[in-house]
Amino acid sequence: MSEPIRSGAYASLLAHLRETYLFATSASVLGWDQETTMPPGGAQLRAEQLAALSTLVHERHVSPEVGEWIAWCEADPVVQGDPTAAVNVREIRREYDRQVRLPGSLVRELAQTTALAQQAWRDARERNDFDAFAPWLEKVFALGRAQGECLRGDSAGTPYDALLDVYEPGARAADLEKVFGELRAELAPLIAELSASGRQPDGGVQRGSIPVAQQAAFNRFVAERIGFDFNAGRLDTSAHPFCEGIGPGDTRMTTRYREENFADSLSSMMHEVGHGLYEQGLPKAENFGAPIAQAATLGIHESQSRLWENMVGRSRPFWEWAVPELRRAFGAPVAEATPSVLYGAVNLVRPNLIRVDSDEATYNLHIMLRFDIERAMLAGDLRIADLPGSWNERMRQDLRLEVPDDRRGCLQDIHWSMGAIGYFPTYTLGNLFAAQLWEALSGDVPDVEDRIARGDFSAILEWLRANIHRQGRRYSAAELCQRATGAELSAAPFMRYLRGKLRPLYGMP
């Protein structure tokens, strides 16, 4: 190979990848449309569109010249000597090796099956009909098993580890089991203590309904104040809030509205805006399509949403700032709201059947339940037919709740119908990362609470931009955590944060 070809390999690789991302991000727009505006009749066509695009994207990822370019880049001292280029090549290699292990027929089958399974899940959940969804779940887990086997290659990990690695590169189920175990050991007694406490915060803060349009305007005001750029993003409505960072200049968030509960919509917006700020802060403009412009892991992504939703949005100073603004925006329904009452209301700990409606403390028990159950189903230790029984038993044990129907039990989440096996643990990882980042941030910005109370969020955003957002995929989640906080991830900061907030609220020393 001559020198010019070698040094051209990096440019060719990035140009190819950039075009691949033009297709991939087109699929993202179609995905956003599917959740926000598409009529039900469009489901079949959309499934075919998404399958066609994902086949195309897969073929481009595994085309033979990509493998050659990567090999040249790996052997090129100029490329390897440039820190950003070296990161890009490292991550392109990771993705390439993963894609090459998946046969095109499996990729196609996964895309088609999961698109239809999602529709089947929607219908089954609405009709509370687990039996109608069970055959789809059977198919999805069989495909997931095949996918895990392919991705694992000859590595020592399990097929579940291989799937987990798609969402949380570097994570292993055994390591998660250890951290989650530490968390559970401290969380369960705290939850029991809180529910036994004679003093409970007041949950009712809103009198009468607040029209959706007023709530939407208020959400937008808060999102903008926090730092979300609406020239480069949108906030729309969907049944299940999400955020899609489509590309440079285009980040789409959604929330949902309940007229009788503005705080629910506000906090789900705060969550998505955390994701949105991360997407807007990634170095995409200069590096569109390159790994350096992408989020580190889903756990890190979730840490950004949790930090804004919980550490900021469920803090006392946040409500000191927000209550006068709320009164101006909503009038009579919140006339009696005070910062103390709202602070208590948004921090109620009460076991809930529904994961997404759960408080910060009990939420993680929902994740551990799903983590254990999906591993058992993937390994074949739990039959699909036994899922409802197993789910309900765990809910009884862990949250002391009776599950009245599958709609509010094992049919509540979309993830498995999408083929997202190994995704759930990233939510709890996000909670743990968020608390650890918040401790470090509070050390670096000692007056952070006063700033929040004044409605000044800029120091928080700047800290996150510097430590997390602008780093893109330069570091693994473990390295990022170490660099930003000076320690490896543990459950301790999260437990300190929860105890520090909840015990005083519940009148405990």
Select from 304-312, 355-363, 416-424, 475-483 the region that touches Zn ion (CB under 5 A): 304-312
Contact indicator for 77, 276 with CB cutoff of 8 Å: no
Distance CA 255, CA 222 (A): 13
Nearer to Zn ion, 72 or 278 (CB): 278
With 0-12 / 13-18 / 19 or more C-beta atoms within 10 angstroms meaning exposed / middle / buried, residue 119 is middle
CB of 241 to Zn ion, least distance (A): 8
Nearer to Zn ion, 255 or 305 (CB): 305
Catalytic annotation, pick one of 91, 168, 272, 374? 272
CB of 346 to Zn ion, least distance (A): 17
Q: Give Cα 59 distance to the centre of its chain.
A: 27
Distance CA 137, CA 445 (A): 47
Distance CA 129, CA 408 (A): 11
CB of 305 to Zn ion, least distance (A): 4
* Residue 358 makes contact with Zn ion by CB under 5 A: no
Nearer to Zn ion, 305 or 471 (CB): 305
Select from 112-120, 297-305, 379-387, 488-496 the region that touches Zn ion (CB under 5 A): 297-305
Q: Given the structure tokens 């889903």, which residue do they identify?
A: 298
CB of 122 to Zn ion, least distance (A): 20
The b/e string for 272-296 (b: 16+ C-beta within 10 A; e otherwise) is bbbbbbbbbbbbbeebbbbbbbbbb
Name the closest residue to Zn ion (Cβ).
Answer: 305
Phi/psi at 190 (nearest 5 deg)? -65, -45
Nearer to Zn ion, 302 or 398 (CB): 302
Q: Given the structure tokens 């028990």, which residue do they identify?
A: 365
Contact indicator for 241, 271 with CB cutoff of 8 Å: yes
CB of 481 to Zn ion, least distance (A): 18
Q: Given the structure tokens 């409606």, which residue do they identify?
A: 357
In the numeric block, which tokens belong to residue 314?
Answer: 């469920």
Query: Residues 281, 223, 491, CA angle at the centre, nearest 5°?
Result: 65
H helices of 37-172, in order, are 43-62, 64-75, 77-81, 83-101, 104-127, 130-152, 159-167
Residue 353 vs residues 142, 155, 271: alpha-carbon distances, Å = 28, 38, 20
CB of 166 to Zn ion, least distance (A): 17
Nearer to Zn ion, 361 or 382 (CB): 361
In the DSSP assignment, the letter for residue 82 is S
CB of 155 to Zn ion, least distance (A): 28
* Residue 305 makes contact with Zn ion by CB under 5 A: yes
Distance CA 409, CA 391 (A): 7
CB of 499 to Zn ion, least distance (A): 24
Catalytic residue flag (residue 48): no
In the DSSP assignment, the letter for residue 400 is -
Phi/psi at 234 (nearest 5 deg)? -135, 160
The dihedral region occupied by 289, where left means phi > 0, alpha psi between -120 and 50, and beta the remainder, is left
Nearer to Zn ion, 79 or 312 (CB): 312
The site that binds Zn ion (CB under 5 A) totals a number of residues, namely: 1
Select from 206-214, 225-233, 298-306, 336-344 the region that touches Zn ion (CB under 5 A): 298-306
* Residue 362 makes contact with Zn ion by CB under 5 A: no
Contact indicator for 214, 259 with CB cutoff of 8 Å: no
In the numeric block, which tokens belong to residue 301?
Answer: 């992504």
Nearer to Zn ion, 207 or 240 (CB): 240
Nearer to Zn ion, 275 or 375 (CB): 275
Residues of the shown chain interacting with Zn ion in the complex, contacts defined by CB under 5 A: 305
Task: Supply the residues annotated as catalytic.
Answer: 272
